[in-house]
Chain A
Amino acid sequence: MTGQVGRLWSRWVRFLDRREPGTTLALWRIAVGSCLFGTVAAVALAGVVPALWLGPADGGYTEPQANWLFRLLGGATRANVWVVVGVTLAAALLTTVGLGGRWPLLLALQGFIALFRLNPAATGAHDAVITNSLWLLFLSRSTVTLSLDCRLRTGRWTCDVPVPAWPRYLAVFQLVLIYFTSGVQKLSATWTPVGGYSALYYILQQPTWQRGDMSRAAWVYPLTQLGTAISWLWEVASPLLLLAYWYRATPERPGRLRRLFNRFNFRRGFVLIGLAVHLGILAFLEVGPFSWIMVSLYICLYHPDEWRAASGGRASGGREAAGGTTDERRSCERRSCERRP
């Protein structure tokens, strides 16, 4: 490869070669593992495993659709479904505590896919967010720190050994992809001035999703209109978050827009609106673990140094840099908390 394409490719390769402490990925793993546990446990506790995931002979309303895993196990029988529920819950726990490296993540992913695909009519967007998160975490080295693995290997709960940062970048990209494609598909006039920005008010009145009587929203209708306008703009403008990261990483370059973005903390505004949206969904609508799993992706918006600074710990000495050379890291490496190839 030569010329411009070659230079772009080299930059792409170097970008994916970046390493950073594993704190962010570990926090994300803990959040996703907890969310998966709650998601599957809620189905079991509500007593709907037979109704939705088993066949009519075992208390279900329809024939389950067995994927490759259930076909391998001999079908979506009562025993097999409950075994997969149990294994998925166990794998979710192992994921949360970070025991067994990346393999519990793969187990959790395959178990969960097999379960929710049993009944495609009873799925939601949250299922796909969970599986995408588990896949990216499986590809990452999320158990290097803040895990039982770390504790067993080093005698400590934390470890500064740098891990590849690209899974975190892909998580940020996934977050933006979800919001942006969701925003551009909001084609109803009710999301626009033509429909009086009434979407949020009417969504709150949907009997299937509401937690309780939402007729009181009629008395704060202007607020729901404001919420409609802000949340739609926030979704369709979400790719600007990637631009904000780029500007932040290249502050020395010229440009008025770059200066504007760097002066105004776009990410903070994005996160605050997002938290308000998801808090609202959580408070007024019952859409399963959607808000929890989406907010868990927000963890990836922050560099490990920012999380450690927030918790009063030390930074690694380089925001996007490859590792650093702190005494702590050397100590961690001596204790073989990271296997070298």
Chain B
Amino acid sequence: MDIILVAVLGGVGALGFYMAWNIGANDVANSMATAVGARAITFKQAVIIAGVLTFLGAVLVGSHVTETIKGNIVNPNMIGDSHVLMLGFIASLLAASFFVTLATWKEMPISTTHSIIGALVGFGIIAGGDACINWGKLLEIGASWILSPIFGCILAFLVFKVIVKLIFSRKDPVESAKIVGPAIIGITICLIIISLFTNTNVGAILGITEMYLIGIISALAGILVTFLSAISLRKIQGRSFQDYDTVELLFRKLQIGTSCFVAFSHGANDVANAIGPVAAVLALSTGNDGFNALQAVPPYLLALGGLGIALGAVTWGHRVMRTVGGRITSLTNTRGFSVDFGAATTVLLASNLGLPISTSHTVVGAVIGVGLARGLAAIDLRVIKKIIYSWMLTVPLAAIFSAIIFIVLRMIL
């Protein structure tokens, strides 16, 4: 019995790792491509940033979304039989991995998040009927899929407008950029620290739980980082009166910061797609009686997911970054900065709320936001249609795959 269990756990772990690898190879690389395309960072730097920061994001903030996937879509108490549940999670992970692989091969702009949610619903309906699906949560998640690109769009629009109003419109754009740019980076740091304190054990470990203290600490860190980045930009001088090129150069440096932010929040949100089902299977196999949805996800599982994503970014992601980065060279650094900020803030917020969203779609939303702010010469909105089709396609298809795999597994085992 024990040997079988170990084998099953090993298999599920490997599957989760494969899914994580897939996310790192494609999705993380996809979001890092903005910075690569705007030439803020080289491919090598992008791979390193993606590897390290997605790992950190996954381990530090990844637990919320993982818990949603683990126990909030399919209500485990309604199914009861832990053997059936375990098969179900394995079937979901198999179906999602298969679907993601197929979609990547066929170049469909689907999201790993959508496929895992679809897969969970598919097995849930077969195993326990539609009563065992947490429709309320599912509706919330569905709404977040529509809202996250819109939110990313609005944020990127606002950041770009701020850049235009406070930098480009000023008499000396370069001098203004040296103040405004670092200030936005400071805000970024502030946001990350707040989310670390409010959503992880960091606060408990350090013994800081009061809201006002968290506020003060994050504000101080933000100001410190603002100063540090302002100092690092001090030496760059504008060459002429309307020197937009030097402004872009300044933002090239600042975009290194925002691309770290992107990688971090990406890890925080997407690690769940790979690790959520694994965590569920682990909880089912170790828990004595039934399933405790509230049981915390063990950090080593998040680390495993983070490692998988990092490995994906390192082994395969450079290909994606190079190709996509080469296609979007018309993106300049101020635009890339706005896109990064809008998308990453949205994704981090969703992670804190425990909502699994699609990072790639949020990035597209942010790009459209900059376009609406008259920041891009031309963007093709046909991509919106493609994304909507992929929403409508992914969830039912992943559900059907997972249902079939589940039925087959139940017959065999």
Q: Are A and B co-members of a single complex?
A: no
Query: Which residues on A are within 8 Å of B, measured CB to CB?
Result: none
